[in-house]
Structure 1
């Protein structure tokens, strides 16, 4: 299993994340596409509710894993900007932690509008990679590490644009919420390792975890909108 998938599994297992994920399913209707589905957890959970759930991911390896884990779902290898779906064929669109990986995230939102039926609902979920809050004895180094990790991504700050992306591409009743995920134990260490790599900074964070002094907070942006009829 890839390191990324291991990180995503650990993140998705957090009670705070699980509760938020459940909220994103509200009012998506009976046919939902989950773009950037990864290992397929949302697809499986939606299918268990009786929804026709379609998972889309560009990585064949994770699509294979998703199909094995969640056989009730429907999975396809495809790009977020070119979905293998007819116009107006879904009632709900969901993109969780994916738009920051795209060079042109607005094209994914255009595609969301195309595949949604009139009055269909779109939800966009993800973190702003500049806004990781990490307690550290070296705040300047911490700031540099967080920003360097962010700058390595195509669109690390797209989450703060979710509202405008929806408004600019034919969505109405647009709303945005921010839910902060908090870690105070060693469960955060794989995430911190993905930011900093091995070394003294990560060792200090591991020591904090052992001594019950670790603190990491990540705001998760949750935007929703209705496709104008």
Structure 2
């Protein structure tokens, strides 16, 4: 848990990640006094940032250990253990819904989007944010192995390519006026190696990437899909 949190903290502290979260908040709308449900809240950083912007932010995560960390880090926040497909939130009680890097881990992401529709008030907004695991670009001398490893990591997940389908998932659930943006996360420092270690533990391939990192030649590019729509 501690090692995963350290990696997540490093990634979430990158300037591009900070800017992307801020953009996701902008796409929600006026946050002042509004209830925002942040699904898959992890360590709770987004909940704290939403609260700083005047929202009543509620974090939900399936992992009790993550919720425990979030409550410790952000004691003023509201956090609940819960499933994205069965949120502990009353019907029609939230103005906004946000899910950041969550749906790829679900067997049926459509159920989570339907649940988002349930908890939102009429006219509320949902924002979905996440990466398409099949589209990660990595500079490497061994392109064949790189392709194999990226696809293998993608295929190990329940819904690795769901991000490219966010727009249609929202439309299918009855949302309207979707806005689609694609942002690019670029890693060219030690954080890049941490990202790659989450993709594979293949020592030979990682050794080449470590050499690249030591020589300031490492590069990992991750397209991030950001889609907002109205309930």
Q: Same fold (TM over 0.5)?
A: yes
Deviation for aligned residue 1:2: 3.9
Deviation for aligned residue 1:3: 3.5
Correspondence for 1:63: 67
Is 105-114 or 43-52 further displaced after alignment? 43-52
Matching of residues 91-102 of structure 1 within 5 Å: 91-102=95-106
Are positions 1:86 and 2:90 aligned together?
A: yes
Correspondence for 1:12: 12
Deviation for aligned residue 1:28: 5.7
Find the aligned partners of 1:156 and 1:2 in 2 and give their Cα distance.
25
Runs of 4+ in 1 over 2 A off after TM superposition: 1-7
Find the aligned partners of 1:3 and 1:78 in 2 and give their Cα distance.
23
- State the Cα RMSD in Å: 1.0
Matching of residues 191-202 of structure 1 within 5 Å: 191-202=195-206
Structure 2: gaps (5+ residues): none
Find the aligned partners of 2:4 and 2:134 in 1 and give their Cα distance.
19
User: What per-residue deviation string (whole Å, max 9, x for no partner) do you get for residues 67-101 of structure 1?
Assistant: 11111210000100001111110000000000000
* Of 167, 172, 175, the match for 1:168: 172
User: Which secondary structure state, in structure 2, belongs to the residue aligned with residue 63 of structure 1?
Assistant: helix
Counterparts in 2 of 1:144 and 1:115: CA distance versus 1, 3 Å? same
Question: Are the aligned partners of 1:11 and 1:17 in contact in 2 as well (CA < 8 Å)?
Answer: yes
Correspondence for 2:22: 22
User: Which secondary structure state, in structure 1, belongs to the residue aligned with residue 48 of structure 2?
Assistant: helix
* Of 215, 218, 225, the match for 2:219: 215
Correspondence for 1:108: 112
Correspondence for 1:129: 133
Correspondence for 1:226: 230
Question: Are the aligned partners of 1:28 and 1:91 in contact in 2 as well (CA < 8 Å)?
Answer: no
Are positions 1:177 and 2:207 aligned together?
A: no
Deviation for aligned residue 1:5: 2.6
Deviation for aligned residue 1:196: 1.8
Is 112-121 or 187-196 further displaced after alignment? 187-196
Find the aligned partners of 1:112 and 1:28 in 2 and give their Cα distance.
18
Find the aligned partners of 2:137 and 2:212 in 1 and give their Cα distance.
15
Find the aligned partners of 1:102 and 1:3 in 2 and give their Cα distance.
23
Question: Are the aligned partners of 1:28 and 1:92 in contact in 2 as well (CA < 8 Å)?
Answer: no
Counterparts in 2 of 1:6 and 1:198: CA distance versus 1, 3 Å? farther
TM-score (norm 2): 0.96
Deviation for aligned residue 1:4: 3.0
* Of 29, 34, 53, the match for 1:49: 53
